[in-house]
A and B are shown apart, each in its own frame.
Chain A
């Protein structure tokens, strides 16, 4: 029998969740454009085009103490380590997981006494969960906005299919404005640009809003490297002007996790690392969170993790290396899993694979620790019920006190994540995400001076005199 298997799937590259077909033929994996998908009409960014390569670098074996072990042995060791950990524990999933997997993780964490986080605690702490609620987004929110304000975002680089949507809605008459560091590509889908230094975006927004029309849509990156001060400023603008916000994240199903109430920390990844370093957190379960190869200061993250009593890693994409105390349990690739997802516009989407993924692994781990987990269908039913209930609740923006904006000095720009970078995946054909540049930035502070990264556009910007110009009001 000649095998050709087609799986309708969604790209995990960011929270847009573009539709894609994965084709397996005689051991080879390839991508086919899913032209009927309403999100992207089959179009993909470079990461999507290279999904077969991403899925080709799999964590296939269980590891413990730096050596390959059987899956069963790894589960036993992980359960033992978690059970005997002396302090607080955290379960972190950055979001490349189905809603069912996230729910299973939250059930597991409850039973094991772990806090859960999506790496967005700093945003949640600043604005509260309600700001991320369904009232702020809708599948057609981009198509129906009269004005879209891009806040410190580079759509063509970070979320190219969002850039396409912006181009299309602009043709229909939507006014698009950009506030933040200037980028050449912005000219293709913006009517007005207000270049400002990253350290002044909050102030720039404040000045801008006095001239902006109400009922606008603010698009702001809200990932683990996103600035909580910007999130809060956008929240306050939305509260004051009856506007809406599209908080774009770097991982697939963050909104599914938010709907399940998974964010229980009041700080982001930096805070988590500090808690580990302080000895407040002694066990960590990482689900699809490849921070060993993607966290900008990964040496610090690695060193902190080495001090943990228990470090359990559930991972599909292979990391180059793990700390010696890591117990690694392999997951099937994203496209092979079954379950549901919520994209940034709250579309409920289906992954049509067959594997339970982390649900099965967490069930085994839970069983080894003495607490069970329902069969997949029951987990799915409960997760859906919780998600639906959350999305049906009406919420509004409430003004909040602004946290200080992250400081940054010099002709530089904040770390701009994209699908490759946040997954630690090099792209040998482009300097933009090349490992050489990544290596330069490693071990440094989040904000990297352009001179240090030479010919790059990821970490820094050219010295641009426009940063020093006063903000022009929007008319």
Chain B
């Protein structure tokens, strides 16, 4: 557990613009004196449209977003070796960075990981479709979206509040991306600082900050000293509420894991293999999954390419090698499923292997730079 604060931006315009008092924006403005750049997302149109954005000066910080629920750009792709970078990340992205650090694609001392608590993200096109069909609202008329108290809430530009229970939405095939439903990392404790509005008073516009590392503490201290961020002790009750929210969301995620992965796990090995064959059969060999994967960084030398592309094996060697590789590094971000043009549930399939591996070895990828993958350290549990 880290050191907890409530925080808000020192500058009025950042406080007004920021989603929860602008603490993250203030922090970013401050860290630019010691980092080469910050990587964030920037809204380009509606709440469904955004792009990756880099800043090397505080100018323009008010125009960037910490996160948008309907935007799931994988920012960890944009880190470069040797460049000092502060980056705002969801837990899955932060876990991907940790995995890249272990593989020497990024140096831990070069990056300041500012994590955002995350209850899940939404597939934009499906969510837009839902808005049109269920509420008769154009996506362009949405000013803001929020996930709170188990509901997905849209605020329209003319002041309406459109709300639906996430459970209901997801039962109907809408709601969060599938990988987000069963993701059980909601507060990014692998980051230097985790930020979010859980555990803050509803009437106040502030951010709950939890500092996990010395680098995070130094960054926050510098931001406070420089007047970029103000902090106070968090209310004890609300800090407990934050933990409670996390607990509820993790429990929900475990339920989804059981629901989505359980049937596969319950199968006999042969039956499971057949199910995997069937799921992979529509693959057209576009390699979009590999391109989208934030952990796979082998480049053109990747072993998954070394098999004959026209092999006639039931599972292509491309996928077989990826299952093996990602078994101990898949962070369950769901980018592979998002990218697949044939709608193969690749994230599910990878998580089948990753969760089984986690169950046997106790190793959960992306949680700490100090956790050495079992395949690297070679000390498997007896009988493995």
Q: Using a CB–CB distance below 8 Å, which chain A residues touch chain B?
A: 1-2, 4, 6, 8, 21, 23, 25, 31-33, 35-38, 40-46, 48-49, 156-157, 160-161, 163-164, 167-168, 185, 188, 429-431, 455
Contacts and interface: CB of A to CB of B under 8 A. Distances in A.
Contact of A36 (B49, B52, B78): B49
13 contacts: A2-B37, A6-B51, A31-B291, A32-B73, A33-B73, A35-B73, A36-B71, A36-B125, A41-B123, A46-B286, A156-B342, A163-B284, A168-B343
A387 B246 CA distance: 54
Contacts of A6: 51-53
A457 to B, nearest CB: 9
Nearest to A431: B310
Interface string B42-59: 001010110111101000
B152 interface: no
Interface in B100-154: 123-126, 128
A133 to B, nearest CB: 27
A223 to B, nearest CB: 20
Of B125, B128, B281, B338, the most chain A CB neighbours within 10 A belong to B125
Nearest to A155: B284
Contacts of A42: 338-339
A35 B310 contact: no
- Chain B interface size, as a band, is 35 or more
B282 interface: yes
Contacts of B291: 31, 49
A430 B309 contact: yes
Main secondary structure of the interface of B (DSSP, over half): loop
Contacts of B374: none
A35 B281 contact: no
Nearest to B70: A36
A46 B52 contact: no
Which interface residue of B44, B56, B342 has the most chain A CB atoms within 10 A?
Answer: B342
A431 B46 CA distance: 42
A4 B52 contact: yes
B54 A33 contact: no
Interface string B171-201: 0000000000000000000000000000000
Given A4-B54, A33-B292, A455-B310, A49 B342 contact: no
Contacts of A160: 284, 286, 341-342
Contact of A43 (B52, B54, B288, B310): B288
Contact of B339 (A23, A36, A43): A43
A41 B125 contact: yes
Among B36, B285, B340, the one with the most A-chain Cβ atoms within 10 Å of its Cβ is B285
A48 B287 CA distance: 11
A37 B72 CA distance: 13
Contacts of B338: 33, 35, 41-43
Contacts of A38: 125, 128
Nearest to B310: A431
A221 B152 CA distance: 42
B343 A164 contact: yes
Contacts of A431: 309-310
Nearest to B47: A36
A78 to B, nearest CB: 38
B305 interface: yes
A164 B342 contact: yes
